[in-house]
Structure 1
Amino acid sequence: MAPSFEQSLPDTDVSTVKQKTFSYENPSRSKFPDGIKTSGQTEPLYDLLKPGTPLTGISQNNFHLPTLAPYLTAIRAELLNGKGFILFKMFPVTAFGLHKSAVAYMGLGTYLGYFVSQNGRGHVLGHVKDVGDDPSKIDKVRIYRTAARQFFHADDSDIVGLLCVARALEGGESDIASSHHVFNTLQREHPDVLRTLCEPIWYFDRKGETSVGQQDWIRTPIFYLETPDPEGKEQPRVYSKWDPYYVRSLTRFSDAGLIPPLSPAQQHAAAVLEETCQRLALHMILEVGDIQFLSNEHVLHARTAYKDSPPPEPRRHLMRLWLATPESEGGWRLPFPDSGHLKRGGIQVNDTRPVAPLDAE
């Protein structure tokens, strides 16, 4: 039988042999005339390995913008307390690609608010893209994952951002309307409709994106006021929460007698609200590289139905951010129990962790 390694070196410590084998310091010049020996393959020094920052970990602390930060602070104030929207042009999304675009876009977003999850899967970087879901199944399907028309609505966050990565072949155009202008117009033209919209009789579907023990719906008015300023210096502003898809998808519960169905007055109010928004809307077309930020507190937004280009052209694709701006940092005083929470609003299912996929899933 052939001798073992230990048998061939009976008087030598194996670890010493290995150490000498891998040593590349002070090699023999008789073997390595230039005095340098190739180091060979080694394992890393594990205590020196540091994990990279994931997209979900981007914050102002690690995304420094010393020149741009004061400008973004002013933009944030304009979003919260001014006209409520802004459009950036010529973001180099094509040159950057998806990953670098996501890093830069989310980095900008940290100066406007805190990322909140946009669905039950924890997506803090969302993707508005037709993935083939059936838009007629409104009790299960989120419309942003289809090519169907989106009626005027507000998302479940303080600020929403949309970065255009690819345009549709046809349609997919953007509309926004000031909820204050809409409110004042309804007060003047349809006071009965506005009264219905201000009553807490509206149920919103949660489409199964609920934590254990939560109801499958919430009840709220469409328009209501901020909570009073403790110092009495500011008048409460009108806040709006609306999405007709979430209101009309509840028949499975109303048919079972768990909640009341939409009354004729509510159906009329919903139609008048949509018509008024359309009449007062600002229409725009998002080009590739455009970023639209708007405040859900006082801007309602919509989009037209669209048709994608055939392959190999890319499908319409918008990267979306939902951002929270809590009271402690100048956000609106909302009549919700989480108004002071840093990441208020959004959609959180149990302890689902935040993730930031680079494309639609």
Structure 2
Amino acid sequence: MTPALTETPAKAPHPLSTNTTAPKSIFPDGIKTSGQHPPLYDQLKPYSSFPREITGPTVWRAEDYINNPERWTHPFSEDEVAEISQAADKFLADGMPLTGISKTNFPLPKFSRFLDSMRAELLNGKGFILFKGFPVIDWGLRKSAVAYMGLGTYLGYFVSQNGRGHVLGHVKDLGEDATQIDKGGESDIVSSHYVWNTLQRENPDVAELLTQPIWYFDRKGETSKGQEGWIRTSVFYLETGDNGRVYAKWDPYYVRSLTRFSDAGLIPALSPAQTRAANILEETCLRHSLHMILEIGDIQFLSNAHVLHARTAYKDFPPPAPRRHLMRLWLSTPEDEGGWELPFHDSNEKKRGGIQVDNTAPVAPEDAE
């Protein structure tokens, strides 16, 4: 099928946006989230350029970890908790806005060495880790939020997660339909590189279709002035430069939620081949996923460059049972700080990606809104 070209094609070379000169009266650290954008279509490489098999530490199976939690979990030590606690208390005492937190005002002189190595493992290794024993009950929401965002600053720059500017997200039961998968749940993760290898063995035609820029993703109505309500892109694409790695972008909910546009003739509807490819991709991910049940005090960090993740449906029980509450960060790592070299115009901006609607200011609510 021929993709619609209703959006203005992005081309390289490109000027950087004004993120680096964002007004501090709106953005406390002077950096604005770049937002959702289509790729640079002239930098997307054809299927023939993709590897037939990916090797290395980014390729892993659930069987490699399911019975070996010591390979992917890190219980916080007493010294680590104490250092994080001291940094959080100091930040709170200084009265700074949470949206302005950084490594400078959240110093972790000892634990930062471990976080540096973990960051490298997230970017270039298996791509995930589960911390255990974060004292959220003792600290309460406010201090826990400060400590969580403080840790995040050592891994990347926090970006806005929605059109309201939330840089600290919350997944919490608010008495709504608990079967909605976008409301939270237990965690399934899978190596997208292992999925790629599996598709190449079992369904190479699907792998090829997923590298074509014929897939539309819903912006969910979170658009700045002049933007389309969707983004046309690929599901798998290569980094720019030589020996580019395979990057994956997939969200079945926001691929299938575009009927209001296709019914109006603004974009093509999913073809039978695309529907089949989407189903096979999801089945392959589910078949090879590692399942995690997050407990109180757990922190899961993962890279969305080469790890696909989903939250399963959940059910909260009435009081006095505890109500599940997850805090969420989206963190960005630009090219010049070790991030993947992506075919997008904002690839080297500090807060690339995320969701930014016009000049909506960042906010970090301490609880669900």
Read off the aligned partner of 1:228 and give its amino acid letter: G
Distance 1:133 1:210 in 2: 26
Residue 204 of structure 1 is matched in structure 2 by 217
Distance 1:303 1:213 in 2: 32
Equivalent position of 2:4 in the other structure:
none
Q: Unpaired runs of 5+ in structure 2?
A: 1-92
Taking the TM superposition and a 5 Å limit, the aligned residue runs for 1:111-150 are 111-131=154-174, 147-149=179-181
Q: Is 1:71 aligned with 2:134?
A: no
**2:363 — aligned with what?**
355
Q: Deviations over 1:66-95 (max 9, x none)?
A: 001111010000000000000101010111
Aligned residue pairs total 277
Amino acid at match of 1:126: G
Q: How does 1:232-247 map to 2 (within 5 A)?
A: 235-247=243-255
1:318 aligns to what SS in structure 2?
Answer: strand
Counterpart Cα distance in 1 of 2:157 and 2:267: 34
Q: CA deviation at 1:204?
A: 0.5
Q: Secondary structure at the match of 1:106?
A: helix
Aligned pair in 2 of structure 1 residues 339, 262: CA closer, same or farther (>3 Å)? same
Residue 307 of structure 1 aligns to a residue whose secondary structure is coil
**CA 1:304/1:268 → structure 2, altered by over 3 Å: closer, same or farther?**
same
Shift in Å, 1:226:
0.4
Q: CA deviation at 1:291?
A: 0.4
- Aligned counterpart, 2:148: 105
* Other structure's SS at 1:117 match: coil
Looking at structure 1, the residues matched to 136 and 117 of structure 2 have their Cα atoms a distance apart, in angstroms, of 24
1:129 touches 1:147 (CA, 8 Å); kept in 2? no
The percent of aligned pairs where both chains have the same amino acid is: 75
Rounded to whole Å, the distance in 2 between the matches of 1:177 and 1:113 is 22
Q: Which residue of 1 aligns with 2:197?
A: 184
* Structure-1 residue corresponding to 2:256: 248
Residue 268 (structure 1) aligned with residue 300 (structure 2): no
Q: Match for 1:322 among 305, 320, 330?
A: 330
Describe the shift of the 1:187–1:150 C-alpha distance in structure 2 as closer, same or farther (beyond 3 A): farther
Query: Which residue of the other structure, out of 305, 310, 333, is the alignment partner of 1:302?
Result: 310
SS of equivalent residue, structure 1 residue 188: helix
Equivalent residue for 1:140? Answer: none
Q: Distance in 1 between matches of 2:186 and 2:311?
A: 5
Kept in 2: contact 1:130–1:147 (CA 8 A) = no
Give, in whole Å, the separation in 2 of the partners of 1:356 and 1:340: 24
The residue correspondences of 1:273-288 to structure 2 (distance < 5 A) are: 273-288=281-296
- 1:290 — aligned with what? 298
Paired with 1:118 and 1:132, the residues of 2 have a C-alpha distance of 22
- Of 245-254 and 51-60, deviating more is 51-60
Q: Secondary structure at the match of 1:288?
A: coil
Structure 2 residue identity aligned to 1:242: W
Is 1:342 aligned to residue 350 of structure 2?
A: yes
Whole-angstrom CA distance in 1 between matches of 2:349 and 2:139? 34
Q: Distance in 2 between matches of 1:217 and 1:246?
A: 9
Which structure's CA Rg is the greater one? Answer: 1
SS at match of 2:310: strand
Distance 2:140 2:152 in 1: 18
| CA drift at 1:343 | 0.3
State which of 126, 129, 134 in structure 2 corresponds to 1:86: 129
* 1:268 Cα deviation after fit: 0.4
TM-score (norm 2): 0.73
Aligned: 1:195 with 2:174 = no
Match of 1:61, SS?
coil
Quick one: distance in 2 between partners of 1:61 and 1:69? 12
2:266 alignment partner, one of 258, 261, 264:
258
Q: Deviations over 1:273-305 (max 9, x none)?
A: 111001111111111100000000000011221
Tell me what 2:28 maps to: none
The correspondence of residues 166-177 of structure 1 with structure 2, limited to 5 A, is 172-177=185-190
**Structure (1/2) with the larger strand percentage:** 1
Q: How does 1:30-69 map to 2 (within 5 A)?
A: 52-69=95-112
Aligned residue type for 2:281:
L
Q: AA paired with 2:306? A: H
RMSD of Structure 2 on Structure 1 (CA): 1.7
Deviations 1:190-209 (A, max 9, x none): 01111111111000010110
